[in-house]
Amino acid sequence: MGLEYDFDIVAIAPDEVDPEHGFAAMTGTRPVRALFRDFHTAQALRSASPKIRRIFLESGFSLETRDSGARRGFYPPEDAVDRNRILKRLFTNIRNMGLQGEYCGDFDFWEFLNHVRAAQPGDVQTGNRPERLPELQDPVTTTPERRTVVGRVGFALGTAVILFVLLKYLAERGAQ
């Protein structure tokens, strides 16, 4: 199973804002951080290249975790403004600094983007959390598995041998 990219928006004390990474004081908005809910996801980000960590940290993410117990794929509607501000800053930093050629390790940036697109504001009730939400599950393939090249060649040779034997048998029967 892959990493879980859900994150919560957490308010931080104004005196805890790192001047190097905290832009909240300049914009006049409340200082917040985005904390992943899953320890393994934060660990994967810690293991990524320093440039990728810097992009996330300067955007407002933290390498700490906090499992609020909220359902996967959902976030509190009141966090939407701060969440969008952090994500816009993240995408701006990515555009300005670039990710090409950087080591991501286990942190799958494309999966993270897919999750951000699929996450919805809504009911974040705690309690029994489903294993995965339907919109975040891997799609079930309904097409049959394709054969390998060796399998195709073997199938073709087998069919040719059967056809050859059948034609030889029919030729013998017709000659009698």
Regions of the chain where pLDDT drops below 70? 1, 14-28, 123-147
DSSP state letter for 20? T
Counting the structural domains of the chain, the total is: 2
Query: Rounded to an integer, what distance in angstroms lies between the CA atom of residue 88 and that of residue 53?
Result: 16
Q: What is the pLDDT of residue 175?
A: 74
CA distances from 110 to 26, 64, 104, 117 (A): 31, 21, 11, 11
Whether 2 maps to a domain, the answer reads no
SS3 132: coil
| Predicted pLDDT of residue 122 | 81
Q: In whole angstroms, how large is the CA radius of gyration of the chain?
A: 27
My answer on whether 106 and 165 are in the same domain is no
- Verify that 32 and 70 share a domain, yes or no: yes
Residue 61 lies in a domain: yes
**Residues 147, 108 share a domain:** no
One domain for residues 85 and 44:
yes
The answer to whether the CB of 70 falls within 8 A of the CB of 8 is yes
Query: According to the model, what pLDDT value does residue 93 have?
Result: 92
Q: How far apart are alpha carbons 53 and 63 in whole angstroms?
A: 9
Is the domain of 168 the same as that of 113? Answer: no
Same domain, yes or no: 116 and 167: no
* Residue pLDDT, tens place only, 100-109: 888 888 998 8
Give the residue among 7, 28, 19, 162 at the shortest CA–CA distance from 70: 7
Do residue 154 and residue 172 come from a single domain? yes
Contact predicate 126/69, CB 8 Å: yes
pLDDT (0 to 100) of residue 39: 92
pTM for this one?
A: 0.63
pLDDT at 170: 87
Q: Indicate whether 132 and 158 sit together in one domain.
A: no
Whether 145 and 95 share a structural domain:
no
| pLDDT for residue 53 | 92
What pLDDT was estimated at residue 43?
94
pLDDT for the residue 172 = 86
Give the pLDDT confidence score for residue 156 in this predicted structure. Answer: 85
Hey, which residues does 74 pair with through a beta bridge?
Answer: 120
- CA neighbor of 99 nearest in space, from 107, 84, 13: 107
- Collect all residues with Cβ–Cβ distance below 8 Å to 113 and sequence separation of at least 6: none
Question: In this structure, are residues 21 and 63 in contact, taking their beta carbons and an 8 Å threshold?
Answer: no
Give the domain extent around 26.
Answer: 7-136
Structure tokens at 63: 């390498």
